[in-house]
Amino acid sequence: MNAVVPRPARQTAAAGREGPHVAGDWRIRAADDRLTAVAGTVRALLAPHLGGRLLPDTDGGAPGCGPATLVLALDATPSAPHRTPVGVSPRGLSEPADESYRLTVTEHAVTCRAATPEGVFRAATTAVQLIAASEGRLPRQELADAPRHAWRGLMLDPARGHLTPDELRRVIDLAALYKLNVLHLHLTDNEGWRLQTPAVPALTAAGADGTPRAFYTVEEYRALQEYAAERFVTVVPEIDLPGHCAALREALPGLPDAPAPEGLAGRFPFVPPLDLADPTTRDAVASILADVCRTTVGPFVHIGGDEAVGATPESFALAVRELRALVRAAGKRPLAWQESSRAGITPDDIAQFWVDVPMMDLPDTEEELARRPELLAAGHTVELVRALKTFFAPADHDVARVVEGGGRVLLSPQSHLYLDRPYAPDVAPPDQAESAARLGFPLYRPRGVRHAAAWDPASHGIPDARIAGIEMTLFGESITGLDDLTTLLLPRLASLAETAWTGRAPEWEDHRVRLARHGRLWRERGLAYLASTEIPWP
Is the distance from CB of 274 to CB of 255 less than 8 angstroms?
yes
- Distance of alpha carbon 117 from alpha carbon 72, whole angstroms: 9
User: What is each CA distance from 514 to 298, 509, 537, in whole angstroms?
Assistant: 34, 9, 10
Domain positions in the chain are 10-145, 152-524
Percent over 90 (pLDDT), the chain: 88
Residue 63 has a pLDDT of 53
How many beta carbons lie within 10 A of that of residue 89, not counting itself? 18
- Residue 262 predicted with pLDDT over 90: no
Torsion from C-alpha of 363, 369, 372, 375, nearest 10 degrees: 90
Is the distance from CB of 481 to CB of 421 less than 8 angstroms?
no
User: What is each CA distance from 420 to 15, 155, 430, 490, 511, in whole angstroms?
Assistant: 45, 11, 20, 11, 22
Selection from 409, 428, 398 nearest residue 307 by Cα: 398
pLDDT in tens, 10-56: 999 988 879 999 999 999 999 999 999 999 999 999 999 999 999 99
pLDDT in tens, 155-200: 999 999 999 999 999 999 999 999 999 999 999 999 999 999 999 9
Residue 64 has a pLDDT of 54
Selection from 101, 188, 133, 142 nearest residue 16 by Cα: 142
- Residue 59 predicted with pLDDT over 60: no
Mean pLDDT, rounded, for 78-99: 88
Name the pLDDT band for 77 (thresholds 50, 70, 90). confident
Residue 347 has a pLDDT of 97
Name the pLDDT band for 264 (thresholds 50, 70, 90). low
SS3 of 288-351: the string is HHHHHHHHCCCCEEEEECCCCCCCCHHHHHHHHHHHHHHHHHCCCEEEEEHHHHHHCCCCCCEE
Higher pLDDT, 57 or 36: 36
pLDDT in tens, 131-143: 999 988 999 999 9
Alpha helices in 393-491 (DSSP H): 398-405, 414-417, 433-438, 449-453, 482-489
Name the pLDDT band for 58 (thresholds 50, 70, 90). low
pLDDT in tens, 237-249: 999 999 999 999 9
- Distance of alpha carbon 351 from alpha carbon 338, whole angstroms: 5
Higher pLDDT, 179 or 62: 179
pLDDT in tens, 391-411: 899 999 999 999 999 999 999
- Residue 79 predicted with pLDDT over 90: no
- Residue 222 predicted with pLDDT over 70: yes
Q: What is the CATH number of domain 152-524?
A: 3.20.20.80
- Residue 83 predicted with pLDDT over 80: no
Is the distance from CB of 284 to CB of 245 less than 8 angstroms?
no
Residue 378 has a pLDDT of 85
User: Is 10-145 CATH 3.40.50.880?
Assistant: no
Is the distance from CB of 22 to CB of 514 less than 8 angstroms?
no
- Distance of alpha carbon 350 from alpha carbon 468, whole angstroms: 7
Mean pLDDT, rounded, for 367-390: 89
Burial (CB < 10 A; 0-12, 13-18, 19+), residue 234, is buried
Q: Helix 279-295 and helix 313-329: axis angle, to 10°?
A: 40
Cα–Cα–Cα angle for 46, 527, 475, nearest 5°? 120
- Residue 312 predicted with pLDDT over 80: yes
Mean pLDDT of the chain: 95
Higher pLDDT, 63 or 349: 349
pTM of whole model > 0.85?
yes
Measured between its terminal Cα atoms, the distance across the chain in Å is: 15
Name the pLDDT band for 62 (thresholds 50, 70, 90). low
Residue 125 has a pLDDT of 98
User: What is each CA distance from 185 to 103, 168, 354, 437, in whole angstroms?
Assistant: 32, 10, 16, 26
- Residue 444 predicted with pLDDT over 70: yes
- Residue 318 predicted with pLDDT over 70: yes
152-524: same fold as 10-145?
no
- Distance of alpha carbon 365 from alpha carbon 315, whole angstroms: 33
Residue 374 has a pLDDT of 85
Residue 5 has a pLDDT of 98
- Distance of alpha carbon 83 from alpha carbon 101, whole angstroms: 11
Residue 73 has a pLDDT of 98
Name the pLDDT band for 76 (thresholds 50, 70, 90). confident
